[in-house]
Amino acid sequence: MGIATPPVYRQDEIWEEYFKGHSGDSDRAARIFANAGVETRHSVVDPRVEDVSTWSTAQRMQRYEIEAFPLAEEALAKALVSADIDAAELGLLAVVSCTGYATPGLDIRLAASLGASSDLQRLVVGHMGCYAAIPGLAAVADYVRLHRRPAALLCVELTSLHLQPSAALGVFNNEQAVAHSLFSDAAAAVVVVPDAPVGMEIGKIASRTDTAHTADMTWHVTDHGFRMGLSPRVPLVLARHAADTVNGLLAPTLTTADVDAYAVHPGGPRILDVVGKALALPESALTASREILREHGNCSSATILMVADRLRANNPEGGNTVAMAFGPGLTLYTAHLSGT
Residue 130 among the catalytic residues: yes
CA torsion, points 32, 46, 105, 189, in degrees to nearest 10? -60
Find out whether 49 and 165 touch, Cβ atoms under 8 Å: no
How far is Cα 340 from Cα 302, in angstroms, rounded to an integer? 20
Phi-psi region of 146 (alpha: psi -120 to 50; beta: other; left: phi over 0): alpha
Give the three-class secondary structure for 57.
helix
Catalytic residue among 98, 130, 155, 299: 130
Q: Which residues contact 185 (CB under 8 A, 6 or more apart)?
A: 5, 6, 41, 42, 43, 44, 71, 157, 158, 159, 160, 299
Please name the residue ranges forming H helices in the chain.
Answer: 11-14, 20-22, 27-34, 57-83, 106-114, 133-147, 174-182, 234-250, 269-278, 287-296, 302-314
Give the three-class secondary structure for 231.
coil
Find out whether 129 and 98 touch, Cβ atoms under 8 Å: yes
Catalytic residue numbers read 130
